Amino acid sequence: MKCDEVKPVCGPCAKGNRQCVYGTLPTDTGDHGHALPSGPTMSPPSSRLGHHSQTSYSSNPDSRPVTQTWPTTPGAEDPLSIRSPQSTFSTSTGYGTEVAPWKWYGLLVGDAANGNVDLDLPSLDSLSDAALAQRCQLYPNGVTAAELASLRSPLNIAESVASLQNPAKLLQISAIAPTPSDSTGGTVDERQYWQAAEAVQLKDHEYDIFQRFVTGVSLWIDLFDPLKHFSTFVPHLALQNEGLMKAILALGARHLSIKPSNSGEANVDRTAAVQYYYETLQYLQSAMRYTSYKNSLELLATVLVVSTYEMIDGQGKGWERHLKGVFWIQRSRDINGESGGLEQAIWWAWLRQDMWAAFRERRRCFSFFKPTKPYQLMDMWDMASRVVYILAQSVNYSSEEEKQQGEGDLEGRILRANTLLNMLEEWRSSISVHFEALPVEGPSNRAFRPLWVHPPALGTSLQMYSMARILLLIHQPAAGGYLEYLRRDKIITECIDTIGGIALKLTDDASRLMSTQCMFAAGLFCTDLAKRVCITELIDDHSTQTGWPSNTNLSEELRAEWSQLKPG
99-111: pLDDT as tens digits? 889 889 888 887 7
DSSP 8-state assignment for residue 434: G
Q: Which of these ranges, 209-213, 238-242, 265-269, 414-418, has the smallest mean pLDDT? A: 265-269
Residue 27 scores a pLDDT above 90: no
* DSSP, residue by residue, 441-510: ---TTSSS---B-SSHHHHHHHHHHHHHHHHHHHHS--TTHHHHHHHHHHHHHHHHHHHHHHHTT--SHH
Mean pLDDT of 378-403: 97
Buried b or exposed e, range 410-425, using 16+ CB within 10 angstroms: bebbbbbbebbbebbe
* Mean pLDDT value across residues 334-360: 96
The answer, yes or no, to whether residue 123 has pLDDT greater than 60, is: no
* Average of per-residue pLDDT across 393-408: 94
Helix (H, G, I), strand (E, B) or coil at 17: coil
Helix/strand/coil for 4: coil
What is the structure's pLDDT at 472? 97
Total-model pTM: 0.76
Taking phi over 0 as left and psi of -120 to 50 as alpha, with beta for the rest, 334 belongs to left
The residue-averaged pLDDT of 60-74 equals 36
Model pLDDT, residue 154:
34
Cis peptide leading into residue 371 (ω within 30°): no
The average confidence (pLDDT) of the chain is 78
Does residue 276 surpass a pLDDT of 50?
yes
Q: What share of the chain is helix, strand, coil (3-state, %, to 5)?
A: 55, 0, 40
User: Which residue, among 280, 296, 267, has the nearest Cα to 189 in the 3D structure?
Assistant: 296
Buried b (16+ CB within 10 A) or exposed e, 452-470: bbeebbbbbbbbbbbbbbb
Burial class (CB in 10 A: 0-12, 13-18, 19+), 128: exposed
**pLDDT value of residue 67:** 35
Q: What is the helix (H) or strand (E) element at residue 299, kind and residue range?
A: helix 297-313
Residue 445 banded pLDDT, cuts 50, 70, 90: confident
Per-residue pLDDT at 93? 52
Q: Is the pLDDT of residue 113 over 70?
A: no
Residue 511 pLDDT exceeds 90: yes
Find the mean pLDDT for residues 407-420.
Answer: 92
Range 545-558 average pLDDT: 93
pLDDT at 345 over 50: yes
CA distance 504 to 509: 13
- By mean pLDDT, which of 17-26, 456-465, 469-478, 559-568 is the weakest? 17-26
Each residue of 39-56: pLDDT tens digit?
Answer: 334 344 344 544 333 333
Q: How confident is the model at residue 262 (pLDDT cuts 50, 70, 90)?
A: low
Lowest mean pLDDT across 142-146, 244-248, 312-316, 401-405? 142-146
What band does 186 get if pLDDT is binned at 50, 70 and 90?
low
Confidence label for 114 from pLDDT (cuts 50, 70 and 90):
low
HEC readout, 498-546 = HHHHHHCCCCCHHHHHHHHHHHHHHHHCCCCHHHHHHHHHHHHHHHHHH
Give the angle subtended at the CA of 91 by the CAs of 306 and 418, to the nearest 5°.
Answer: 105
CA–CA separation, 198 vs 34, rounded Å?
52
Does the structure show a pLDDT above 90 at 498? yes
